[in-house]
Amino acid sequence: MTQFSNKAAFIAGFLLLVANSAMAAAGPTVSFKSETFNVAPGSVFKVIVLIGSNEPVNAINLEVSYSSDIAELTDIDTKNSLINAWQNSPRILSAGSLKLEGGIFQPFKGQDAQVADLVFRALKEGTLNLNLMGGSFYLADGQGTDIKTTGEPLDVKVSASGAKTSVSVPPDQTPPNLEIQIAETPVEKQLLIVFNTEDKESGINYIRMRSREWLNWSDWVVVHNPIPAPKSVWMAELQAVNKQGEDTIKTIYIWPEILKKGALIVFGAAALIGLALMLYNKYKHKT
């Protein structure tokens, strides 16, 4: 009896070890979650994009496909996302193709972390299929090692017998949080304006920037992280606007350019003073 128990324990332990090894060896995953799998035409519903990784990662680059003839993607909500710095993303690449790309300040390791909420409006009967068309995770190993990922597709049926659903938008009376800093690329030494923004209530709608080369402001332009510091710019303002229209504006000063302009001003002032003294002495000698 003891021999049988020992053998059973050994087999159970071996199977557990194999299962754990398989889990550790498994690569990162992307999955989709929906509270409903059968909706009526005209319904508005949400699909959550989730990721999992058994190794610490600090950046992702995903391309998601969806059946744009069956449902229209009306909103991309990132207020609960683990992504801190979006790279020109989220954005629709083409009809039925979505890009999700960005960095994570604190390396992530775990399962079912939220990347984005995709809000769809059902157009007609059929099946909305969501799938991962391409994807990479980047290890937090100091080298950004690229590891490929696998996707778990999701189908949501649109039919006359489906549930009539809607997505409520909570009121938002709080402006977004916005932080800005200057960084530098390690090789090219290019100055970058890097920002971190979040709005936990309605989410961020867009970020835009204007700048000064001397005294006049440039026009506002929509920007994405990170922003190459424009040449000759010494001051910039960033505006974060949430989906309810509240905004936060912050200013950043680019000190290398300020020092350069300061030196030019001092040199120019010294030259003018020298010229004035020379003209004064010349006039004095004549009189």
In this structure, is the dihedral angle defined by the CA atoms of residues 49, 91, 85 and 180, taken in order, positive or negative?
negative
Residue 83: its pLDDT value, please?
92
pLDDT of residue 287: 62
Nearest to 208 by CA among 246, 257, 253, 249: 249
Q: Does the predicted TM-score (pTM) go above 0.75?
A: no
pLDDT in tens, 48-62: 999 999 999 999 999
Return d(Cα 10, Cα 19) in angstroms, integer: 14
Give me the chain's average pLDDT, please: 85
Q: Which residues contact 28 (CB under 8 A, 6 or more apart)?
A: 51, 52, 53, 54, 55, 57, 137, 147, 149, 150
Arch. (CATH architecture) of 27-158: Sandwich (2.60)
Residue 26 has a pLDDT of 60
How does residue 32 score in pLDDT terms, banded at 50, 70 and 90?
very high
Looking at domain 169-253, which CATH architecture does it have? Sandwich (2.60)
Q: What share of the chain is helix, strand, coil (3-state, %, to 5)?
A: 20, 50, 30
